[in-house]
Structure 1
Amino acid sequence: MLAAFALAAVQPVYPAELVIRELKSVCSIDYRSAKRAGFIGPASDAIVHWASEAGANGWTLIESDTPNLSRRDVSASGRIESLNHLLFGSFAMANDYASVPTEMLGGQVFRKDVAGRTLYLSVFGADDGARTVGECRIHDLLGDGVQKNPIASPVVEQVFGAKPKTAAGAFGSTAYSWQAGKGRIGYLEVHFGFGGWKVSSFNKRIENFNPYAPYGLTMVMGFRDQVIII
């Protein structure tokens, strides 16, 4: 009984509402249509807008030559870069045969302290004229005792002001969707955990593969013409 109480006492209270409000303030506008009054523009419109909003909302851009980077900053940047290249995989393969190559869009990583937590925000996209993907994400590397997914339907409803539908998302994530206004994104995908890399040349079975999971908590807003592009 005492052991159970002690374990419960050290579990950090996760500031889910504040973190999701940060995501909303940067990532909830699909500027492809908001910019062009109903006409869908290129993915780059959304990527540039998200990066601009991040700066306007107090997120600090971090790059390899940014002074005084912490080990955590370096780790987050490296993991996010790896994720971007993984998601860009099918575009890269198609580039072997394309007359006009497709480039990755965005790739910026930002940092901000929210309620005592160091969060990272990243933007990513690719657009070859037929397939489009754009992701605006918040990453929390966790590792400080948070053992359960802190994002739940009630707090999503509280922040976005609409009751979301809950479904299974890509790679076993939890996906929330709701009616959003014109030019706004009504979709949030939550990936939680540290598994996802149980792939071995000695075992043909791929176990619980999730390219987002090793990042702790990753929340994604954006758009994909396919469920996931790998």
Structure 2
Amino acid sequence: MSTVNEPELADLDPFDLMAAEATRVDAFYRALADGNDWLMPTRCAGWNRRDLLAHLAGVEDDTAARLAGAPLPASYVGETALTRRVHLPGLELLDEWRDRVDRNDTELRRRGPHAAFPGPGGAPYPLGRWSFYLASERAIHADDAGVPIGEAESAARLDWRLRFARSALTEQRNGQVGVVADRGAQVVHLMGEFNGDAVRLPDDQFVEAVSGRLPPEADVPFHLRNALAVLG
């Protein structure tokens, strides 16, 4: 049985993807030395590695709240989660995050991909599809923190992230951004006011664009860059 009613994602298990990303983040942070390694800057402006992990803990707080039927405000996940954990030593913070991950992931998998889940605005949303967003969140922030990706797993990781990036873009932009695959790249263009503006992005750069992580030097018009950034 497919996990989501969408052909491009039907053969992927978002719970396995979530688990793999959590394991990768956990191993990376546990190997950090005390002190400066935890305070290294990340791709998230103003956040060091410790801040980023506190944010990920806030995401898990929100997931637990959604499982209980009471989503947290976005401000909690963005900032309150950091201030609530400012006193925790790094490894204690890591243990707290991992404990929440394990409990949430177990419950998400138990309920199954077709269960209802409070999505944006609290409206019912397929749990399996929401779990893809959670897997993507972990993957994006793993990259933000500098978590290394082994050569043996990089192709499969790019594949699922590419497929989900295309899917999320279609969903969140309501078809206002066209995407056509072209030999290891994605040709994207805007409809409506900017109809005709198009750019060809290699697959990995397309994933970065949809994650809101396209580097400033990338030759992509500002309005198209903004339209692509729907994750992260």
- Normalising by structure 2, report the TM-score: 0.28
Higher helix share: 2
